[in-house]
């Protein structure tokens, strides 16, 4: 390759001797002073022209996917779980070998999971595919096999556990509230689907409100919730019953105000009172006994929360002698549904307020209320405890 480069005359340094001859009055630079500045500038011009002529460029490294933070990892995991639930439910429902009621439940599970994916923000897309002109998602080589019914139930249980743990630990309060609701939805779906596909449903333990940390020299306080007072979630479906207290160690939730604690004491005590009053008028013995057991459970939880708040037996104890019972026209099961749905909303709100790492009991109580409500006949929700979230349209 031959290059012809013309350098402007004013950039070329003249010879020292000739310059002295041309201008005898010009001062001679002292020794050590450089006269190479213009020559360097000329050289740079030449190099730039040569590089430009050869098509050489100084390139930046190609863009890469940013590293996700902890909150983004939590969100992506929940999205991946919901997508897997949806895809497995769709695949199993499409086999054509299941009873209509099972297919209907699988369609409902799929619709709920799809709505959860949307509310969680969907699959992450950095936009690099638009920049690079190629897909950043690797397509699946082969379609996924049709899962066994037990596998779908197991996926729901695993997804519920991961979302529950993430709701407890994530730093993002609103995301924690959403994850707790999603965990409750997966738990309800597993409990409903298991008997339809012939899979034993695990018993959901009753959460135990934690005791306050004892002061120096004091004996630890004890909670009143026990196996004797935990009533069945429904008088006819033992698979979904709440029969034993949780054995897991729990931490008192941090970050809750005195008003938050007073509100939950009142909500639990009012629920217990309403169920006691209505159970006394119930003709169906099974319904009456189930309501009475659930009433005792809520009364005990109210006491446990009052102990934790430090208001039990004090003038600040918010509990009343009597409460207005909602839904005078509701049947026994209908009243249980309304009360449990209200408590689920209360606990979901507290999940969004409490400090990370201390929300576990609140998440468990939200799940407990959601499972109980549906076991007593309420329509399962895609977002238990989040009344502002729209429910997906029926398939």
Contact 268, 298 (CB under 8 A): yes
The mean per-residue pLDDT over the stretch 77-89 comes to 97
Residue 390: how many other CB atoms lie within 10 Å: 11
The mean per-residue pLDDT over the stretch 40-50 comes to 52
> Within its chain, how far is the Cα of 45 from the centroid?
59
Q: What is the pLDDT of residues 349-360, one digit of tens each?
A: 999 999 999 999
Lowest mean pLDDT among 120-134, 318-332, 342-356: 120-134
Lowest mean pLDDT among 14-28, 157-171, 340-354: 14-28
Question: Quick check: 380 pLDDT over 90?
Answer: yes
Q: CA-CA distance, 296 to 16, in Å (whole number)?
A: 108
Structural domains in the chain plus CATH codes: 69-125+144-202 (1.20.1260), 204-385 (1.20.1260.10)
Q: Which residue has the higher pLDDT, 374 or 230?
A: 374
The mean per-residue pLDDT over the stretch 229-236 comes to 40
Lowest mean pLDDT among 6-10, 91-95, 147-151, 309-313: 6-10
Helices (H), the chain: 16-22, 37-54, 70-93, 100-119, 128-132, 149-169, 173-196, 258-279, 285-309, 332-353, 360-375
pLDDT at 337: 97
Question: Quick check: 343 pLDDT over 60?
Answer: yes
The mean per-residue pLDDT over the stretch 284-302 comes to 97
pLDDT at 391: 87
* SS (HEC) of 125-182: CCCHHHHHCCCCCCCCCCCCCCCCHHHHHHHHHHHHHHHHHHHHHCCCHHHHHHHHHH
- Reported as a pLDDT band with limits 50, 70 and 90, residue 48 is low
- Reported as a pLDDT band with limits 50, 70 and 90, residue 123 is confident
Question: Quick check: 139 pLDDT over 50?
Answer: no
pLDDT at 41: 56
Per-chain mean pLDDT for the chain: 80
Question: Quick check: 234 pLDDT over 90?
Answer: no
pLDDT at 211: 87
pLDDT at 33: 45
Q: What percent of the chain has pLDDT over 90?
A: 60
Q: What is the pLDDT of residues 12-41, one digit of tens each?
A: 444 444 444 444 444 444 444 444 445 555
Q: What percent of the chain has pLDDT over 70?
A: 68
The mean per-residue pLDDT over the stretch 233-258 comes to 55
């Amino acid at each position: 390759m031959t290059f012809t480069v013309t350098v402007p005359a004013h950039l070329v340094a003249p010879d020292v001797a000739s310059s002295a001859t041309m201008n005898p009055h010009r001062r001679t630079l002292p020794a050590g002073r450089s006269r190479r500045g213009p020559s360097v500038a000329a050289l740079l011009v030449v190099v730039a022209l040569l590089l430009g002529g050869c098509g050489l460029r100084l390139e930046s490294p190609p863009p890469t996917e940013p590293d996700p933070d902890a909150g983004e990892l939590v969100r992506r995991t929940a999205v991946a779980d919901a997508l897997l639930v949806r895809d497995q439910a769709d695949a199993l429902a499409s086999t054509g070998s299941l009873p209509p009621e099972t297919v209907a439940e699988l369609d409902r599970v799929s619709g709920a999971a799809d709505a959860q994916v949307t509310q969680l923000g969907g699959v992450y897309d950095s936009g690099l595919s638009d920049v690079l002109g190629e897909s950043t998602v690797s397509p699946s080589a082969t379609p996924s096999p049709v899962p066994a019914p037990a596998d779908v139930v197991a996926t729901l249980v695993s997804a519920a556990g991961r979302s529950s743990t993430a709701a407890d630990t994530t730093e993002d309060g609103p995301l924690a509230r959403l994850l707790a609701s999603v965990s409750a939805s997966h738990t309800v779906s597993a409990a409903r689907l298991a008997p339809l596909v012939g899979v034993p449903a695990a018993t959901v333990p009753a959460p135990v409100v934690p005791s306050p940390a004892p002061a120096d020299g004091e004996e630890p306080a004890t909670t009143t919730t026990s196996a004797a007072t935990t009533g069945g979630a429904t008088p006819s479906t033992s698979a979904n019953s709440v029969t034993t207290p949780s054995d897991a160690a729990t931490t008192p939730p941090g970050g809750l105000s005195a008003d938050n604690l007073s509100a939950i004491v009142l909500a639990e005590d009012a629920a217990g009172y309403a169920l006691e009053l209505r159970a006394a008028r119930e003709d169906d013995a099974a319904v009456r006994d189930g309501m009475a057991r659930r009433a005792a459970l809520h009364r005990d939880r109210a006491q446990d929360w009052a102990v934790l708040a430090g208001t039990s037996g004090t003038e600040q104890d918010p509990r009343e002698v009597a409460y207005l019972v909602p839904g005078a026209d509701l049947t026994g099961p209908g009243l249980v549904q309304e009360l449990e749905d209200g408590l689920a909303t209360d606990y979901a709100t507290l999940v969004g307020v409490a400090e990370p790492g201390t929300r576990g009991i609140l998440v468990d109580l939200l799940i407990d209320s959601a499972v109980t409500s549906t076991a007593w006949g309420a329509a399962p929700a895609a977002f238990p405890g989040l009344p502002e979230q729209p429910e997906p349209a029926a398939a």
